[in-house]
Amino acid sequence: MSNEPMYSIPEKFRKIENLHIVFWLIKDMSWAMLWKPLGIFMILPTVSVALLITWQTRHLKAELYHNLAVTFWIFANCYWMATEFLNRDELRYYTIIPFGIGLVFIAIYYLFILPKEKKAAKLEA
C-alpha cells in the first residue's frame, strides 16, 4: 500500500473550508457572547458553506458522508442557538433530530460503505 493520502483536498476547496471555519467560529462566539443579531446573521453563511462543501465532495463517499454529518451538526447547532436567543429553551430538545441524522450518516459510512470499499480493495489487490 502507498503512503499517499486517499484524498488530497484541492486548494480551492481548502480555502472554502477555511472560510467555513471562520464563519462557524464567528457564529459560536456570537452565541457565547449573546450577540444575537450577529449570531442569527451567521447562520446563513455557515450553513450555506457547509452545503457547498458537501456538494463539492459528493463524488468521494468518505467526504460526502462526513460532510453530510457536519452539515446536520451545524444545522442542529444553529437551531439550538436560535432557541436560546429566542428564550425557547424547551424547543432545544428537537436538536436530537439533526444530530441523530448526522450520526446515521456516520454509521452508514462506517458500518456499510467503508467495509464494502475495503472488501473491494482486497479483491483488486
pLDDT in tens, 60-77: 999 999 999 999 999 999
C-alpha cell at 68: 453530510
pLDDT in tens, 23-40: 999 999 999 999 999 999
The dihedrals phi and psi of 112, each to the nearest 5 degrees, come to -120, -55
Instruction: Report the percent of the chain where pLDDT is more than 90.
Output: 84
pLDDT band with cut points at 50, 70 and 90 for residue 11: confident
On average, the pLDDT of the chain sits at: 92
Yes or no: say if 8 and 48 are a contact pair by the CB < 8 Å rule: no
Where do we find the cell 450555506? 48
